[in-house]
A and B are shown apart, each in its own frame.
Chain A
Amino acid sequence: MSAKDVPRKTGEARKLGIIVVVALVIAGLATVDRFLAGLQDAEVQRTARQSYREGLRLARNGKTGEAIEAFRKAHALERGNTEYELELIKVLTEAGKSDQAELLMREVLEREPNGGRANLLAAHVMLAKGSSDTAESYYHRAIYGEWPDNADAHRISVRMELADFLAARGKKQELLAELLPLQEQSGKDPAAERRIAQLFLAADSPSHAANEYRALIKQDPRDASAYTGLGDAELKRGDYRSARDAFLSAAARNPADPSIRYRVELSGTLNDLDPTARRLTSVEKYRRSLRILDLARSELDGCIAKHSVAASDKAQQFLTSANDVIKQKAPAAITNELAEHVLGLADETFQAGVKLCGTPEGDDPLRLIMQKVAQ
C-alpha cells in the first residue's frame, strides 16, 4: 500500500463508519418509536374504553349531557371506533343535537355503508330531523345491512320498528309489505306475534290479524287479550257474530276489564243491526233496515239542528222521506226488495248527515254498519 492510499482508505473507512452509525441510529429510533407508539396506543385505548363505559353508565342514568362528553372523549381518543361513534350518535340524537349526530353519522356511513346498526341510527337521526322518507330508506338499509351478531334477531327488530313507523305514518300498503315477511321470520315469539297482529289490523288486513290471534290463542287459551284482538279483527272484517263470540270469551277470562265489556256491547249491537247477516228472513232484514234508517234519521236530524243554515233542501227531503217511511205502517208482504229500498234510503240519509257534519268518529255502530253495507 502506497503512502497516498492511506488517507483515501482512512476517508473511506470514516464514511463507512458514518453509514453504520446512521443505520444504527435509524434502527434505534425505529425501535424507540415503535415502543413509544405502542405505549401511547395502549394508554389511549384504555382511556377511551374507560370514557366509553362511563358514557354508557351516564346514559343509563339519564345524564345525557355528561354522557355526550364521555362518548365524545372516547371518540376523540380512538377515531374510527364505530362502537364509540354509534353510541355518541345515539345520545346526540336523544339530546336533540341531530345536526351534530348527522355529521358524525355521515362519517360512519362513509366508512361502513352496509353497517346494520349504523343505518338504523341514521334512520333515528333522520326521524329526529323530520326527514321521514330518508329515515324509511335507512330502515331498509339497516334490515339488509350487516350485523356482526344475532343478525336475524336484529333484522326482525328493525323491521318491527319500521312497521311501527309505517303504521304511525298510515302507509298501509308499505306496512303490509313489511308485515308479511315479518310474520314468517318472527317464529313463535308471542310478544312479536301479538305486535304483528296489531299491525296487521293497522294495515287494514284483519284476516291476517285474526290468524295471528288464533295462533296466540292456540298457544295460550287463557289469553284474554288474544281473544280481544281476535274480536277486534273480526269486527273489522264485519263478522260481528264471531267478534261477539271472541269478546265474550275474552270477558269470561277477564271479566273486570271495562274495555272488553264495551266491546261485547258494541259487537252485540252491530250483530243485532247487521242487515247483511246470512240466513236473515226478509222480515228481519226489513226490521233491521228500519232501525238503521231510524239511526241515520236521528243523526241527520241532530246535524240539521246544528247546521241549519248549511243544511240543503236535499237533506231536508231525505229527513222527510225517512220520517215518512218510519211512520208508515209495515206492509203486509215484506220482500227483500222492500228491505233493500229502506236500506238504500238509510244510506242516502247517512251520507247526507256525513256531508253536513262529517263522518262520525270512533266505534259508531251506524258508521260501521253503513261501511259493511257499502262493501
Chain B
Amino acid sequence: MTKLSLRTKLWNWTGFAKREDQVSMLLSLVIGVLVGLTVVAFILLTGRLAARMYPPGGAAWRRIAVPVAGTLVSGYLLFRYFPNARGSGIPQTKFALFIQEGYIGLRTVVGKFVCCSISLASGIALGREGPSVQIGAGIASVLGRSFGLSKANVKALVPVGCSAALAAAFNTPIAAVLFSLEEILGDLHAPVLGSVVLSSATSWMVLHLVLGDQPLFHTPAWQLVNPLEFGIYAVLGLIGGIASVCFVKLLLKLRVWFRSLPASSVWLQPVAGGLLIGLFGLFVPEALGVGYDYVDHVLGGDFSWKIVALLAVMKIIATPVCYSSGNAGGIFGPSLFIGAMVGGTVGSIAHILLPNVTANPGAYALVGMGAAFAGIVRTPLTSVIMIFEMTRDYSIIVPLMISNLISFFVSQQLQREPIYEALALQEGVYLPTGESRDELTGIRVSEVMRGGTEPLSIDDTVDTAKVLFGKEKCTSWPVADEGSLRSMISSHQIETASPPARIIRDVVKSDWRYPHVHSDHPLSYALEQMRDSSVDVIPVVSRANIHEMRGIVTLTGILSIYGIGGVQGATVTR
C-alpha cells in the first residue's frame, strides 16, 4: 500500500481538496460564460473587420492587397510579440495539456485573438475554430492559476475551456464536449466530463443570447431517394478520405519546407499564404476566407460542379500554404469547406449520371463535410455529431456515418499519424497517439520510475557498463552522448561484439528509435516495450524531448508493484 504524504493527508482532512474541486466546478461555469463571450466577440469582430475590408462591390485589387497586408501585419505581430499564437491552436493546446501542466499565458490568448482577427478578416484560407479552442483553453488556464488552483486542477480546466470555445465557435455543444474528450484529452471517459459539459452548455447559452438561434449551416431536408445512394455515399467517403490525405500530406511537407527557410524570414513567411489566396481570390472570389457563406450556398444544391470542384482543389492547396507559412488560424473550417466542395462535386456528378436514384447534390455536400473532417482531424465520432448539430437534420446520420468511417479508414491507412500528432512531431513533441490512448489507463510509469539515475556515456568503456549491469542486477542500460539520450546497450551486445569492443560507441549507434516510455504511460506499455526490445531497463523520457531522460523503469520494479519478487530497483510512490 502506498503512503500518503503528511501534506496530502492534511489537505484531505481539512476538506481543501474538496473545496478546490468545488471551485473548479464553479470556475467551469465562469469559463463557459467568459469563453462564450470572448469567442462571440472574436466571431463578430472578425466578421465586422472582414466586412470593412471587403465592402460590397469593392475593387478587385482588394482581393490581393488585403490578404497580403493582413498576413504581413499579423505575421510581424506573431514574430515580434506573440510567437506562441502561431498556427491552429489545437496542437498548442495539447502541448499545454501534456507538457506544460496546462499552462497557457495571457499573452498567448491576447495574441491569438488579435492576430487571428486580423488574418482571418483579411481573407486567408484558415478557420476560427482552432484559435477559439486555444483562446478558450488559455482563458481557463489563466483563470485557474489566478484562483490559485493546483497544477492538476489547472490542467483539468484546459479541456473545459476547449469545449466552451468550440461550443460557441461552431454552435455545437455536444460535439464540443466530444471533441475535448476525443481529441484534446484522448479519453472519452475522462473524469472532467461534468465540467466539460457544464462549460459547453454555458458557452452555448451565451452564444444564443447574443447571436440568436441559428445553426451554422442551413440545409434542406434530406431524404433517401434510392438505397443505391448508400453506395454513392461510400464512394464519397473514399474520395473524401483521399482528399483529406492529400491535404494533410501537403500541409506537413510544406511546413517542413517553410521551417527549413532562414529564421530571419519567419516574420515574412505568412505573406506567402496571403499572396496565394489573394491570387486565387482575384479569379475566384469564393476562394477567399473560410467560405462558410458559399458552403451554405452549395448545401442548397444550386451550383455548378465545375466551380465547386475548382474550389475544392484551390482550398486543398491554399489552406496548407496559409497554415504552413505560419499564419494564425485553424483547419477545422477549411476541412468543412473542402468536404462540402468534394461532396458537392461527387453529388452533382452522381446526379447527372443517375438522376432518378440520387438526392439533391446539397445532401452530398453535407455528408462530404463530415467525411473530410473525419479524414483530416480523425475524430469520427465528433464529426458525425458535429454535422448533425450544425444542420439539425437527424435523417442524414446514416449516410454520414458510412462516409465518415470510410474516409477515416482511408485516411488512417494512407497517413499513419493524425495531423495534430504529426504537427507536434515536427516540433519534436511526442503527444499521446490515438493508439496509445488505451494505454493511458491503469498504473502509470511515473509510479515505479526511478529518478536520479544517470545514463552511461557513449564514450564509457564496456567494462564500466559490465560493472553497472552487475551492480544493478540488470542486462541493459540507457546510453547518452554529451548528456543527450541516444541509445540502449545490453550485455548481449557486448558479448557478441566482433571484434570485441573497448568502448560503448563501438557497440551502439546513435539512433532515435531506442525503446523509451513517458511517465504517463501505463506499466503494461513499458512491459511491451521491454519485450519488443529485449531489455529489462527502459528509460523514461520527456514528452517535449525524448533525448531528455527523467529516470528509468526496471523489470524488477514493475514486478514488485504487482507483488512479484523483491522490491529492489524501484521506489513505489503510490
Q: Residues on A close to B: CB < 8 A?
A: 11, 15, 18, 22, 25-26, 29-30, 32-34, 36-37, 39-40, 43, 47, 72, 76, 79, 97, 99-100, 103-104, 106-107
Against A, the Cβ 8 Å flags (1 = close, 0 = not) of B126-168 are 0000000000000000010011100000000000000000000
Q: A79 to B214, alpha carbons, bound, how many Å?
A: 8
6 closest A-B pairs by beta carbon, nearest first, are A103-B220, A36-B44, A29-B37, A33-B210, A18-B146, A33-B40
Which residues on A sit within 8 Å (CB–CB) of B218?
76, 79
* 20 A-B contacts (beta carbon < 8 Å): A18-B146, A18-B147, A22-B30, A25-B34, A26-B34, A26-B37, A33-B41, A40-B44, A43-B51, A47-B56, A72-B297, A72-B302, A76-B218, A76-B293, A76-B296, A79-B218, A97-B302, A99-B360, A107-B220, A107-B221
- Taking the nearest CB of chain B, how far is it from the CB of A138, in angstroms? 17
Q: Is the interface of B mostly helix, strand, loop or mixed?
A: helix
By the criterion of a CB under 8 Å from any partner CB, how many residues of chain B are at the interface? Answer: 30
Q: Give the complex CA separation of A140 and B210 in angstroms.
A: 40
Which residues on the B side are within 8 Å of A107 (C-beta)? 220-221
Q: Which residues of chain B are within 8 angstroms of A100 by Cβ–Cβ distance?
A: 220, 300-302, 360
- Verify if B47 is at the interface (C-beta below 8 Å from A): yes
Give chain A nearest CB distance to B113 CB in angstroms: 11
In Å, the complex CA distance between A292 and B301 comes to 66
B234-247 CB mask vs A (1 if < 8 Å, else 0) is 00000000000000
CB of B221 within 8 A of CB of A36, answer: no
Q: Check A36–B41 contact: CB distance below 8 A.
A: yes
Closest to B362 in A: A103
Contact flags B161-198 to A (C-beta < 8 A → 1, else 0): 00000000000000000000000000000000000000
If the complex has contacts A26-B34, A76-B297, A97-B302, are A37 and B210 also in contact, measured as CB distance less than 8 A? yes
CB interface residues, B 41-93, toward A, < 8 Å: 41, 44-45, 47-48, 51, 56
Is B327 an interface residue when CB atoms closer than 8 A count as contact? no
Which residues of chain B have C-beta atoms less than 8 A from A33's C-beta? 37, 40-41, 44, 210
A26 and B214: CB pair below 8 A? no
Known: A72-B300, A76-B296, A76-B297. A104 touches B220 (CB 8 A): yes
B143 contacts which chain A residues (CB < 8 A)?
22
Q: B169 → chain A, closest Cβ, in Å?
A: 14
The one of B38, B45, B301 in contact with A36, judged by C-beta atoms closer than 8 angstroms, is B45
Q: How long is the Cα–Cα vector from A39 to B300 in the complex, in angstroms?
A: 27
Distance (Å) between the CB of A301 and the closest chain B CB?
A: 54
Q: Is B6 an interface residue (CB 8 A)?
A: no
Residues of A within 8 A of B30 (CB): 22, 26
**Nearest Cβ distance between residue A49 and chain B, in whole angstroms?**
13
Measured CB to CB, the nearest residue on chain B to A32 is B41
Please indicate the chain B residues that have their CB under 8 angstroms from the CB of A30 in the complex. Answer: 37, 210
Are A22 and B48 in contact, CB atoms less than 8 angstroms apart?
no
Cβ-closest chain B residue relative to A102? B220
Contact A106 B146, beta carbon cutoff 8 Å: no
* Cβ–Cβ contact B34 & A22, under 8 A: yes
B456 within 8 A of A: no
Contact B221 A106 (CB under 8 A): yes
- B211 in the interface (beta carbon within 8 A): yes
Distance, CA A18 to CA B143, complexed state (A): 9
- How many angstroms between the C-alpha atoms of A79 and B219 in the bound complex? 12
Would you call B405 an interface residue if the criterion is a C-beta within 8 Å of the partner chain's C-beta atoms?
no
Residue B33 interfacial (CB < 8 Å): yes
Please report the C-alpha to C-alpha distance between residue A36 and residue B44 in the assembled complex, in whole angstroms: 6
Please give the distance in Å from A332's CB to the nearest CB on chain B: 78
Tell me how far the C-beta of A158 lies from the nearest C-beta in chain B, rounded to whole angstroms.
26
Instruction: Please give, as numbers and ranges, the residues of chain A lying within 8 Å of B148 by CB-CB distance.
Output: 11, 15
Specify which chain A residues have a CB less than 8 angstroms from the CB of B360 in the assembled complex.
Answer: 99-100, 103
A324→B2 CA distance, assembly (Å): 131
Q: Chain A: which residue is nearest B33 at the CB level?
A: A26
Q: Which residues of A contact B34 (CB under 8 A)?
A: 22, 25-26, 29
Chain A nearest Cβ from B341, distance in angstroms = 17
Give complex CA distance A21, B516 in Å: 46
Closest to B37 in A: A29
Is A40's CB under 8 angstroms from B220's CB?
Answer: no
- When chains A and B are docked, how far (Å) is the Cα of A72 from the Cα of B210? 25
A89 to chain B, nearest CB (A): 12
A83: min CB distance to chain B, Å? 17
| Known interface pairs A36-B41, A72-B297; 9 further A-B residue pairs with C-beta atoms within 8 A, sorted by A's residue number | A15-B147, A26-B33, A29-B37, A29-B41, A33-B210, A34-B210, A43-B51, A72-B300, A103-B360
Taking the nearest CB of chain B, how far is it from the CB of A111, in angstroms?
A: 13
Nearest-neighbour CB distance to chain B for A183, whole angstroms, equals 40
Residues of A within 8 A of B302 (CB): 72, 97, 100
Residues in chain A near residue B146, CB distance under 8 A: 18
A40-B46 Cα distance, complex, nearest whole Å: 11
In angstroms, Cα B47 to Cα A22, docked, is 26
Q: In the complex, what residues of B have CB within 8 A of residue A18's CB?
A: 146-147
Closest to B293 in A: A76
Complex formed: what's the CA distance from A72 to B47 in Å?
Answer: 20
Contact B147 A40 (CB under 8 A): no
In the docked arrangement, what's the CA distance between A370 and B221, Å? 57
Measured CA separation A116–B229 after assembly (Å):
36
Chain B residues whose CB sits within 8 angstroms of the CB of A103 once the complex forms: 220-221, 301, 360
Q: Which residues of B contact A22 (CB under 8 A)?
A: 30, 34, 143
Give CA–CA (A18, B293) in the complex, Å: 40
- The digit string for B6-50, where 1 denotes a CB below 8 A from any CB of A, is 000000000000000000000000100110011011001101100
Interfacial residues of chain B within 252-302, with CB under 8 A of chain A in the complex? 293, 296-297, 300-302
| Nearest chain A residue, comparing its CB with the CB of B34 | A26
Contact of B211 among A25, A29, A37, A97 (CB under 8 A): A37
- Per-residue contact bits, chain B 206-230, to A (CB 8 Å; 1 contact, 0 not): 0000110010001011000000000
* Smallest CB gap from B211: residue in A: A37
Q: Quick one: given A76-B297, A100-B300, are A40 and B37 in contact (CB under 8 Å)?
A: no
Closest to A50 in B: B56
How far does the alpha carbon of A22 sit from the alpha carbon of B142 in the complex, in Å?
11
Bound Cα distance from A97 to B303, whole angstroms: 13
Residues of A within 8 A of B48 (CB): 36, 39-40
A103–B48 Cα distance when bound, in Å, is: 32
Q: Do A40 and B47 form a contact, CB below 8 Å, given A29-B34, A99-B360?
A: yes
Question: Which residue from chain B places its CB closest to the CB of A17 in the assembled complex?
Answer: B146
A97 to B360, CA, bound (A): 12
CA distance A40 to B51 in the complex (A): 10
Cα of A104 to Cα of B41 in the assembled complex, Å: 32
**A72 — which chain B residues lie within 8 A by C-beta?**
297, 300, 302
Q: For B34, B48, B220, which residue has the most chain A Cβ atoms within 10 angstroms?
A: B220
